[in-house]
Structure 1
Amino acid sequence: MSSSSSSSSSSSSSSSSESESEPPTGICLIPSLPDDVALNCLARIPRPYHPVLSLVSKPIHSLFSSPHFYHARFLLNSTQHHLYLTLRSCASTLLWFTLHRTPSRILLVPFPSQPSPAIGSAYAVLGSTIYVIGGSINDVPSSHIWLLDCRFHRWRRGPSMRVGREFAATGVVDGKIYVIGGCVADNWARSANWAEVLDPASEKWERVASPAEVREKWMHASAVVDGKVYAMADRGGIALDPRCGAWESVGTELDLGWRGRACVVDDILYCYDYLGKIKGFDVKSGVWKELKGLHKGLPRFLCGATMADLGGKLVVVWECGGGNGKDMDIWCAEIQVSKKNGELWGEVDWFQKVLSVPKGSSIVHCSSVAL
């Protein structure tokens, strides 16, 4: 769920990185230009134009479907952040979408969900991959991990956790994925592995030592701020500092003010409260502040609000009743956030309806991925 930054190279093995760094040769991407120069040019073009450009020639079409191309974009710092959204339909089916932008339209485009979808999965983003962690299948917590390669929208199984979990807290720190709670510590295995960490390079989970007094907590939200994994629980939130292995209380101010799903933008944790306000919490000062400047740009109440850090901008997705009474609309807003004179200010770049779904559907999660 976290939005902490990490390089895409951290999520792949050394052999994979080496193969991705080797540019394709001899395919004549652009006549009269060497392929390495053509690749350098094409990798700088914004991703929304790729579908049209892929029609120009077979070599360009093949390039856009190649890991070499995305590795070049990463090296050239040409990646763009893209929003991924998970919905649960009224029939309890899990639906996946990505926000697609063209010069004239912004809409959510569907693509196939993972096999064996679960209820209460946790999410983490590492490089160009979304990790879907655990969840309940037929009311049994699962240890399974599914990996979505967002470059090509391909799913594959990841390394299973040591114990099954649902509604766990997650966070990415220094290229590793930490998972906290989501299981009943009623035997040795679940107590010892109440917190785990995945090293994507070795694809192995290792236990993270945790004090016995925190293992009775059930998580409802999580985020990474300043290198610490914050896990909000039913009775008092906790924070893990992976670099020293220390656990600590999050403090009363954060504990009382954090409501619902949240995200972190520029070290400020944002959430949406029951009074219809977007608030930001500065962990260093320990103070909540209202995000000002939105009263003219957004509706007062945003049902089911979910947030993500989209390349330094705050994106909010929410549910709204459809006009015919049978549908539910999904709306999205992109907000520039900044600090001015000690206050938090937001300016809405745009907001609009991006999808209509049958009534009874609900937003599960949204993630930001750099591609």
Structure 2
Amino acid sequence: MSFSSMSKQQVLDAGEGAGEEVEELIPGLPEEVAEKCLLHLPFLYHRLFRTVSSTWNRFLTDTPAKPLLFPAGAGAVSFSLPFLFAFAFDPVSRRLQCQALDPFSRRWLMLPPVPGGAAAGSFAVVGLPRRGEIYVIGGVEEGGEKAVGSVAVYSAARNGWEEAAAMRTPRGYMAAGEVGGRVVVAGEDGEAEVFDPEEGRWAPAAARRGAAVARYDAAAAGGKLYVTEGWAWPFERAPRGAVYDATSDAWGEMARGMREGWTGSCAVAGGRMYIVAEYGEWRLKRYEEARDEWRMVAGSGVPTEVRRPHVVAGEVGEFAGGRRRIYVVGAGLDVAVGTVSAAPGVHGGEEEMVEWEVVKGPAEFAGLAPCNAQVLYA
């Protein structure tokens, strides 16, 4: 249903603009075309665009437009655009910055300063792509050892930060991710909690039993949060890993092949888990659950001009023929954009191939060191 085809009662139910008739979004254009035009407006200017008319205001802010952005049950995003949000520290000022890369213009957009003063790498960052929100959670106070429980949330719709409900327990160096539209955090002590963005509050989750798992990397896919303590060569012992299942609210052991092959940073793209290896040519690997193994993706590794440290992110949905997109952000916010597509199988099973394109960061970003990346649809 197009926005303009809603009944007057539906508009009244939307709350804002009660009593007003629905006007054309853009006079003279079919509504389907007008919808696509508005949904592609740069999100940083939505506040300005909402002043054009009450109809534009409702379309860009109220719930009736959300099904157009994210159809119920759909795994892919229909109209809204993926923006890459990169968090980085200035090694001189030690201040945390956040920029957004526009996928079409390939220009970086400066965002409002990130609140809080947690030490680099101690806090968790979780994106809720379908809500257009990013959560910066907890951490350790800069220059100290005290863990904090504060939570700041960025909204792409408002292009601003707000304070959210604090965690029940202050945490630093935690694993975190989006599982089923909620934020799950787990400390190294095994205690965990879940934040529901609709209710705006935290609730306890099942505790993980057994030996501590020092967070090296974490990823969320298929309703589960995967936490690994990583790898080192030569192995002094087998790496440990844990899996939280949101449906059963229970923790389990990570499959052997997954934990032993988790040798880099993981990005989830189109529902699949990929790793950018930290050794050799920085090749891309994909996890296959049925075989419990990481399989090499054909094509070259991350271009060497995108220097370490690397942080990675993936787009939620697929696009144009089932392809998936992965972003690798390097020093100076140079970005390698990887497009993963199906390739003819040689040894049986589904094969994939990646092609890379590099987007150079502006000269003024030369000293920035990335610490996290998220993809939001805005």
The partner residue of 1:318 within 329, 342, 345 is 329
The partner residue of 1:338 within 339, 342, 351 is 342
**Alignment RMSD, CA only?**
3.5
**Does the CA contact (< 8 Å) of 2:275 and 2:285 recur in 1?**
yes
- Tell me the SS of whatever aligns to 1:292: coil
Q: Report what 1:109 is aligned to.
A: 109
Supply the AA of the counterpart residue of 2:325.
Answer: L
Q: Report what 2:171 is aligned to.
A: 165
The partner residue of 1:197 within 179, 194, 198 is 194
**Does the CA contact (< 8 Å) of 1:304 and 1:363 recur in 2?**
yes
Q: Report what 2:10 is aligned to.
A: none
CA separation in 2, counterparts of 1:213 and 1:21? Answer: 55
Matched, 1:74 2:69: yes
Question: Number of residue pairs matched?
Answer: 331
**Equivalent residues in 2 for 1:197-276, closer than 5 Å:** 197-214=194-211, 216-233=212-229, 235-273=239-277, 274-275=279-280, 276=282
Supply the AA of the counterpart residue of 2:371.
Answer: V
Matched, 1:309 2:314: yes
- Tell me the SS of whatever aligns to 1:43: helix
Q: Report what 1:92 is aligned to.
A: 94
CA separation in 2, counterparts of 1:181 and 1:29? Answer: 48
The TM-score normalised by the length of structure 1 is 0.76
Q: Report what 2:371 is aligned to.
A: 364
Greater relative CO (CA pairs within 8 A, separation 6+) = 1
Q: Report what 1:83 is aligned to.
A: 84
CA separation in 2, counterparts of 1:75 and 1:316? Answer: 22
**Equivalent residues in 2 for 1:282-293, closer than 5 Å:** 282-293=288-299
Structure 1: gaps of 5 or more residues: 1-16, 186-190, 321-327
Label 1:146 to 1:22 Cα distance change in 2 as closer, same or farther (>3 A): farther
Q: For residues 126-165 of structure 1, what are the alpha-carbon distances to aligned partners after superposition, in whole Å with 9 as ceiling and x for unaligned?
A: 2211111111223321111111101221111111111111
CA separation in 1, counterparts of 2:365 and 2:69? Answer: 38
CA separation in 2, counterparts of 1:238 and 1:31? Answer: 55
Label 1:28 to 1:266 Cα distance change in 2 as closer, same or farther (>3 A): closer
**Does the CA contact (< 8 Å) of 2:50 and 2:57 recur in 1?**
no
The TM-score normalised by the length of structure 2 is 0.75
Matched, 1:352 2:359: yes
Supply the AA of the counterpart residue of 1:354.
Answer: G
Label 1:134 to 1:55 Cα distance change in 2 as closer, same or farther (>3 A): closer
In percent, how many aligned pairs have the same letter? Answer: 18
TM-superposed CA distance for 1:56, in Å, is: 9.5
Label 1:268 to 1:300 Cα distance change in 2 as closer, same or farther (>3 A): farther
Q: For residues 291-318 of structure 1, what are the alpha-carbon distances to aligned partners after superposition, in whole Å with 9 as ceiling and x for unaligned?
A: 11236x8338752222222233232223
**Does the CA contact (< 8 Å) of 2:124 and 2:174 recur in 1?**
yes
Supply the AA of the counterpart residue of 2:66.
Answer: H
> Which structure dedicates a bigger proportion of its chain to strand?
1
Structure 2: gaps of 5 or more residues: 1-12, 72-77, 231-238, 319-323
Supply the AA of the counterpart residue of 2:205.
Answer: V
